[in-house]
Amino acid sequence: MKRREFIKYSSFIIPAAAVIGIGNPFSKNVFAAGNSAEQFSISVITNQPSKTIHLIEQAVKNSVYGSRTLQFTEYGLKGRHVGDIAYIKSQTLIDYRKEQDEFSHILNESANSLSLPATFDDPVLLRFSSQEKLLKPSGVNIFRGDKLINNFSLNNKNKIYRIEGFKGHVDIRIENNTVKIVSAACKHKTCISMEAISKPGENLVCIPNQVSISIAGRSTTGVDSITF
């Protein structure tokens, strides 16, 4: 199977946008529960990319997201990283291991099948996300845990902001309408390895610090299309 055709009816290649962290990411009270939502992303750090793609493909096709057009990104990471699955729904991190809905249950089974979480050398990061149509960037939203704590404009030029997480800081740089994590007080610093994000719905996540950064979107008609 060709990885970049993993969902033949709806596969698109975009710059990477999500990061899953290190250690045990699903700490108590870190992730928020939620009802079914249209916008979602799944990021997986794994040493079994082909098997992972197959499992996530089946999970999405057999869920409430099955009719959505998906975007897909794959690239390698250097060094040692802790692999796991990060599930973001409506820009909120969801603990699929505790949720009772069918999709979370399937993700939990997929993680067990992949023996996640586990530590890998030079693993692969895979990202699957719903495609947002007719959106233009409207700002950068900053979350700590499940709380929206700040919002920044994308129009800033080479501006660096420090975000205080629950275990340390995360520094982001906003430049040329993109956002990138440039420094973080976490052990493996996986989030620093990720590329900048620029499209509505894209996320950067540093789970050890419980900080997530997302690009908010506004429809071309002027109506907000991402709500919290």
* Domains located in the chain, CATH noted: 3-219 (2.60.320.10)
Q: What are the distances in angstroms from CA 44 to CA 75, 76, 166, 187?
A: 11, 12, 23, 18
pLDDT band with cut points at 50, 70 and 90 for residue 40: confident
When comparing pLDDT for 70 and 206, which is higher? Answer: 206
Share of residues in the chain with pLDDT > 70 (%): 76
pLDDT band with cut points at 50, 70 and 90 for residue 135: low
pLDDT band with cut points at 50, 70 and 90 for residue 225: very low
pLDDT band with cut points at 50, 70 and 90 for residue 2: very low
What's the confidence (pLDDT) of residue 162? 95
When comparing pLDDT for 35 and 158, which is higher? Answer: 158
What's the confidence (pLDDT) of residue 16? 32
What's the confidence (pLDDT) of residue 79? 82
Share of residues in the chain with pLDDT > 90 (%): 25
| Stretch 165-178: mean pLDDT | 92
Residue-averaged pLDDT of the chain: 76
| Stretch 56-72: mean pLDDT | 83
Lowest-pLDDT range of 13-27, 70-84, 94-108, 141-155: 13-27
**Is residue 49's pLDDT more than 60?**
yes
**Is residue 193's pLDDT more than 90?**
no
Lowest-pLDDT range of 34-38, 44-48, 55-59, 82-86: 34-38
**Is residue 14's pLDDT more than 70?**
no
| Ramachandran angles phi, psi of 66, nearest 5° | -60, -25
**Among residues 143, 138, 153, 158, which one has the least CA distance to residue 223?**
138
pTM higher than 0.85: no
Burial class of residue 129 in the structure, from the number of CB atoms within 10 Å of its CB (0-12 exposed, 13-18 middle, 19+ buried): buried
